[in-house]
Amino acid sequence: MEKTRTKVVLLQGQKVELVRRLFKEDVPEGVIVRPNPRVITHYHTYGGISRFFEGLAQGKLMGTYCSTINCEHRIWLPPRAHCPDCWEPMHWVEIPAAGAKVYTHSTTNYPGEGFELSVPCPLISVEIPGVCTKFMSYLSEFGEGEPYIGMPIKPAFRTENPTYSILDVSWVPAETLLPSGST
């Protein structure tokens, strides 16, 4: 016996086009199509790294370090609530981003579903002096030929209407100070 397949069906017009696109075939004649919208809000906690997101909203990069002697006080960003090496609770520290550079980069031109930024979007790993991790983020301002490896950058924070998500921080080119007297 031939198996009957359950198919999601939608409304006429635009929605029919959507079905064609999703299922790569026409909606059969006589099939009833109705919309069934859902809105889902997912609440989750940042738990022990909440202070990191609070910091972004205040224009600060907050990392954590382990004070255990063998862990060499290395700073982690994004922070870990507990040390990945010895599992002890970590301590908070504000990270000065002076000297931050692009460690590596990749530009998104064709984003997938749910991508929240405009394109082209240069995704970057950020190298910050004193920080043992490379911080993943994006450049929100860039010119031709940017980003490039080693490019000096500084953080830009969304302190007005923060989203309390990782999108509250992005990076922009850092002004390179010319030696006085140079033209």
Under the rule (CB under 5 A), what is the footprint of Zn ion?
Answer: 66, 68, 71, 83, 85-86
Q: How far is the CB of 171 from Zn ion (least distance, A)?
A: 28
Q: What is the DSSP letter of 130?
A: T
CB nearer to Zn ion: pick between 93 and 156 = 93
Residue type, 164: Y
Q: Using CA atoms, how far apart are residues 77 and 63, in angstroms rounded to an integer?
A: 5
CB nearer to Zn ion: pick between 67 and 163 = 67
Q: How far is the CB of 65 from Zn ion (least distance, A)?
A: 9
**Cβ count within 10 A of residue 144:** 4
Q: How far is the CB of 109 from Zn ion (least distance, A)?
A: 40
CB nearer to Zn ion: pick between 26 and 72 = 72
CB nearer to Zn ion: pick between 66 and 77 = 66
User: Which candidate, 127, 135, 157, places its Cα nearest to that of 77?
Assistant: 135
Q: How far is the CB of 74 from Zn ion (least distance, A)?
A: 8
Q: Using CA atoms, how far apart are residues 138 and 150, in angstroms rounded to an integer?
A: 15
Kindly give, in sequence order, each residue whose CB lies less than 8 Å from that of residue 68, ignoring residues fewer than 6 positions away: 83, 85, 86, 88
